Amino acid sequence: MENREEDEKLGCYWLTEVPKPEYNVFSPWKSAFTQSRAISILLRAWQITKEEKYLNTCKKALVPFTYDINEGGVTAYLKKDKPFYEEYVASEPTMVVACPAFVFFGLYDFIRAVPQNVDIQSHKLACKILNNGIEAYINWLPKFDLGYWVNYNYCKMSNFPQNNPCSIGYLRLLIVEMKILYKLSNRKEFLHFAQRFESYDKIPNILRMYFVKYKALKKLNRL
C-alpha cells in the first residue's frame, strides 16, 4: 500500500525500479502483472480486515488497464479492440506471452470478491477488461507459436530478435496457465493451446530451442 502511486486520471499503480535495457527501459515502469498481483493480495486484505481502503485501492488499480501504454496505462493496442496487457511497459509493445494469463487471474479474483451488489460499476469494469483481454489473447497466441516451441514475447523493437523462445520452465508454466484458463473460462481454445504446447516438450525440440535462444541472447548482449 505504501509504495503505490495515485493519479487522478490513471488511478492507482505501482512502479518497478529495476532497469530493463533489452526494452530500452531505464526509469521506473508500470506493469499489468504487478497490477494484477496487487489486486489479488489487496482483495484478500480487504476480506480479512474489512477495511475499505484495500477495496478502494483495488478499484483504482483497474484503471491503468483502460489506458494504452502511450497514455500512461499498461495495455498495448497493436490492433483495434485487441488489447494485450503488458508485463513490461516500454515505449513500444513488449508483449510477454504469459502476462495476460496472470492478469486474468487477478481479474477473476476481483469479479469473485466484488459482485455487483457490492460495487456494480467496478464489477462491470473488471468483467469488460477480462472479456476483452481473453478474446484478444486467443487471437494473439498463434503469433507466439514457433511450431516446435513458444516465443517468450512478440516484441517488434528494432534491436530485438525475431525469435526469442522461452525457457523449458516457462513453457511448462504457460501450459499450466492454459489449462487453468480453460477451466475458468470454458474456452476450448485454451485447452487446444495447452495440448499443442505440451506436445513441444521433447528433447529434439528442446535442443532446437537452445540453439535459437543462444542466438537471441547474443543479439540482446545478455551472454
Q: Tell me what pLDDT residue 158 has.
A: 87
Q: Tell me what pLDDT residue 223 has.
A: 78
pTM: 0.95
Each residue's pLDDT tens digit, 77-121:
887 778 999 999 999 999 999 999 999 999 999 999 999 999 999
Distance of alpha carbon 60 from the chain centroid: 18
Which residues pair with residue 83 across a beta bridge? Answer: 77
Number of domains in the chain: 1
Q: Tell me what pLDDT residue 114 has.
A: 97
- Domain hosting residue 125, numbered range: 5-219
Residue 27 CB burial class (10 angstroms; 0-12, 13-18, ≥19): exposed
d(CA 84, CA 100): 7
Q: Above 90 in pLDDT, residue 132? A: yes
CB 33 within 8 A of CB 103: yes
Identify the CA nearest to 96 among candidates 160, 50, 19, 185: 160
d(CA 181, CA 117): 26
Q: Tell me what pLDDT residue 160 has.
A: 92
Residue appearing with cell numbers 530478435? 161
- The dihedrals phi and psi of 51, each to the nearest 5 degrees, come to -85, 125
Query: Using 50, 70 and 90 to split pLDDT, how confident is the model at 2?
Result: confident
Each residue's pLDDT tens digit, 6-47:
999 999 999 999 999 999 999 999 999 999 999 999 999 999
Each residue's pLDDT tens digit, 177-204:
999 999 999 999 999 999 999 999 999 9
Each residue's pLDDT tens digit, 56-78:
999 999 999 999 999 999 999 88
Q: Tell me what pLDDT residue 127 has.
A: 98
CB 52 within 8 A of CB 46: yes
Query: Using 50, 70 and 90 to split pLDDT, how confident is the model at 217?
Result: very high
User: For the residues of 25-47, what is the DSSP string, one character each?
Assistant: B-S-B--HHHHHHHHHHHHHHHH
**90 in helix, strand or coil?**
coil
CB 14 within 8 A of CB 3: yes
Q: Above 90 in pLDDT, residue 212? A: yes
Query: Using 50, 70 and 90 to split pLDDT, how confident is the model at 172?
Result: very high
